[in-house]
Amino acid sequence: MLARLGTLGRYILEVWFFLARILYFRWYNARYILIIGGPGSGKSTMASRLEARLGIKHLPMGDLFRREIRNNTAIGRATKANVASGKLASDWHTFRLLYREMRKREYCNGAIIEGVPRTLIQAKKLELLLLFWGHKIDTIAILEVSEADLLERLPNRRICSNKDCGRTYHLKLNPSKVAGICDKCGSALEQRPDDRPEIVSDRLAIFNANAAEIQAFYAHARNVVRVTMDNDTSVDDAFLNLLYAIEQAG
């Protein structure tokens, strides 16, 4: 959207960026990295590693919604009903959670965002939110994994049952050191309900229905990097390829 502005529009925008960064000085030097990919493409794993490497807070949208569901909030109840019927969380609830989270002091250096946008409306709202604070997305990283590989990956994914940890593993690609036990906190690993084989194909169908227009929305941006991987690519190699691509884009 911002890339389509004319010369005058871009000039006005740069003036606003300058003024907004002074007004919202807490986020003056913030950096925003967006990771996009299908379910099971490794967004959370890559974002966690980038957080440790770059010192920018990982913002996992899926975890925020799961927290709302556990706490039985209004957003959580609505999201749980949507997920049960095979739908995405609403755009409005997504934006409310995102705005509330990104205002926290822990994101003053920016955020590595994954799990959003899942619709074109969410992509536009995210861009406008950052614009309001005088920022834009610094890098958009698209993780490209074939549907066949995703169908193989998801049923083998495991997450830590300790909700304060939430580390993600994969039985083949990224197993824990002790089977069924989290390396970080020692809690038991479990399968996410939406990773069951009978649900995986529906999740991919929902993703594919929105992916084309989201990627088209970002097609004119100069800061898009694409990292292709398959189920023979190690997590370490995938991360190094992603990190290199982001550093080159920056």
**Active-site residue set:** 43, 118, 157, 192, 203
Hey, what are 202's tokens?
């529906």
User: Is the dihedral angle over the CA atoms 242, 43, 173, 39 positive or is it negative?
Assistant: negative
143 and 46 in contact (C-beta within 8 Å)? yes
Read off φ and ψ for residue 166, nearest 5 degrees.
70, 15
Question: How do beta strands 157-160 and 139-144 pair?
Answer: unpaired
Instruction: Tell me the C-alpha to C-alpha distance, in Å, between residue 206 and each of 18, 92, 117, 248.
Output: 39, 18, 13, 32
Question: How do beta strands 110-114 and 58-60 pair?
Answer: parallel
Give all strands of the β-sheet with 224-228 in edge-to-edge order.
58-60, 110-114, 31-37, 139-144, 224-228
Cα 121 from Cα 126, distance rounded (Å): 9
ω into 117 cis (within 30 of 0): yes
